[in-house]
Structure 1
Amino acid sequence: MSHLAEPIQIRQTRFKNRIIKGAMSEALANDAGQPNHLHFGLYEAWAKGGLGCAITGNVMVDARAKNEPGVVIVETERDLEKLKQWAGIGKKYGMVQLIQLSHPGRQCPKGLNKETVAPSAVPFSPLLATTFATPRELHEDEILDIIQRFAESARICEKAGFDGVQLHGAHGYLISQFLSPLTNKRQDQWGGSIENRMRFLLEIYKATRQATSENFIISVKLNSADFQRGGITEDDVITVFKAIDDAGIDLIEISGGTYEAPVMAGAKADKRKASTIAREAYFLDFAEKIRQQVKCKLMVTGGFRTVQGMNAALDSGACDFIGIARPLAVETDLTDRLIVGQDVRYAVKPIKTGIPFVDKMAIMEIIWYAAQFKAIGQGKRPNPKLSPLKVFLNYAKNNVKAVIKGRINSRKSA
Structure 2
Amino acid sequence: MSVTIASPLTLPCGITLKNRIAKAAMSEQIAEANGAPSETLIRLYANWAHGGVGMLMTGNVMIDHNALVEPRNAVLEDDKHLDLVARWARAGNAHGAAMIMQINHPGRVPVLPLLRQPVGPSAIRPGQLGYNLRKPRALSKTEVKDMIARYARTAQLAVEAGFNGVQVHAAHGYLLSQFLSPKANHRDDEYGGDPKRRMAMLLEVVEAVRAAIGHDKVLSVKLNSSDFENGGLTAEESLDVALALEAAGIDLLEISGGNYEAPAMTGVVKSSTASREAYFLSYAEQLRELSKIPLMLTGGVRTAEFMNEVLGAGAVDVIGLGRPMALHADYPARLLAGTTQEELPRAPRAGFGPVDAWMQLAWHAANFERIANGSPKPLTPGLIRGLAKATATMSRKALTQ
TM-score range, shorter chain: over 0.9
* Matched residue SS, 2:103: strand
Q: CA deviation at 1:343?
A: 4.7
Which residue of structure 1 aligns with residue 56 of structure 2? 54
Which residue of structure 2 aligns with residue 317 of structure 1? 314
* Matched residue SS, 2:129: helix
Map residues 127-146 of structure 1 onto 2, 5 A cutoff: 128-129=129-130, 132-146=133-147
Aligned length: 399
Which residue of structure 1 aligns with residue 89 of structure 2? 87
Map residues 199-278 of structure 1 onto 2, 5 A cutoff: 199-269=200-270, 276-277=273-274
Which residue of structure 1 aligns with residue 363 of structure 2? 368
Which residue of structure 1 aligns with residue 295 of structure 2? 298
Q: CA deviation at 1:299?
A: 0.5
Q: Is the CA contact (8 Å cut-off) linking 2:107 and 2:120 kept in structure 1? A: yes
Q: TM-score, normalised by structure 1?
A: 0.91
Q: Is the CA contact (8 Å cut-off) linking 2:29 and 2:73 kept in structure 1? A: yes
Q: TM-score, normalised by structure 2?
A: 0.94
* Matched residue SS, 2:367: helix
Q: CA deviation at 1:349?
A: 3.2
Q: CA deviation at 1:386?
A: 4.1
The letter of the residue matching 2:123 is A
Q: Is the CA contact (8 Å cut-off) linking 2:69 and 2:112 kept in structure 1? A: no
Spell out, residue by residue over 1:106-145, the C-alpha distance to the aligned partner (whole angstroms, 9 max, x if none). 11237535221110111132x6146652211111111111
Which residue of structure 2 aligns with residue 412 of structure 1? none
Which residue of structure 1 aligns with residue 116 of structure 2? 114
Q: Is the CA contact (8 Å cut-off) linking 2:72 and 2:397 kept in structure 1? A: no
Q: Is the CA contact (8 Å cut-off) linking 1:222 and 1:253 kept in structure 2? A: yes
Q: Is the CA contact (8 Å cut-off) linking 2:260 and 2:354 kept in structure 1? A: no
Q: Is the CA contact (8 Å cut-off) linking 2:26 and 2:59 kept in structure 1? A: yes
- In structure 2, the CA distance between the partners of 1:16 and 1:100, relative to structure 1 (3 Å rule), is same
Partners of 2:151 and 2:184 in 1: how far apart? 21
Partners of 2:398 and 2:308 in 1: how far apart? 45
Map residues 34-49 of structure 1 onto 2, 5 A cutoff: 34-49=36-51
Which residue of structure 2 aligns with residue 283 of structure 1? 280
Q: Is the CA contact (8 Å cut-off) linking 1:66 and 1:113 kept in structure 2? A: no
- In structure 2, the CA distance between the partners of 1:130 and 1:71, relative to structure 1 (3 Å rule), is closer
Q: Is the CA contact (8 Å cut-off) linking 1:306 and 1:343 kept in structure 2? A: no
Is it true that 1:169 corresponds to 2:164 in the alignment?
Answer: no
Range 215-224 or range 294-303, more displaced: 294-303
Which residue of structure 2 aligns with residue 410 of structure 1? none
- In structure 2, the CA distance between the partners of 1:343 and 1:201, relative to structure 1 (3 Å rule), is farther
Partners of 2:9 and 2:31 in 1: how far apart? 32
Spell out, residue by residue over 1:190-234, the C-alpha distance to the aligned partner (whole angstroms, 9 max, x if none). 111111100010000011111112201100000000000111222
| The one of 332, 335, 341 aligned to 1:335 | 332
Q: Is the CA contact (8 Å cut-off) linking 1:106 and 1:132 kept in structure 2? A: no
Spell out, residue by residue over 1:150-171, the C-alpha distance to the aligned partner (whole angstroms, 9 max, x if none). 0000000000111010000000
Which residue of structure 2 aligns with residue 152 of structure 1? 153
Which residue of structure 2 aligns with residue 396 of structure 1? 391
Q: Is the CA contact (8 Å cut-off) linking 1:227 and 1:263 kept in structure 2? A: yes
- In structure 2, the CA distance between the partners of 1:74 and 1:87, relative to structure 1 (3 Å rule), is same
Q: CA deviation at 1:362?
A: 1.7
Range 323-332 or range 108-117, more displaced: 108-117
- In structure 2, the CA distance between the partners of 1:132 and 1:308, relative to structure 1 (3 Å rule), is farther
Partners of 2:244 and 2:213 in 1: how far apart? 20
| The one of 31, 36, 40 aligned to 2:33 | 31
Which residue of structure 2 aligns with residue 6 of structure 1? 7
Partners of 2:306 and 2:232 in 1: how far apart? 30
Q: What are the ranges of 5 or more consecutive residues in structure 1 without an aligned counterpart?
A: 407-414
Which residue of structure 2 aligns with residue 96 of structure 1? 98
- Identical aligned pairs, as a percentage? 40
Q: CA deviation at 1:313?
A: 0.8
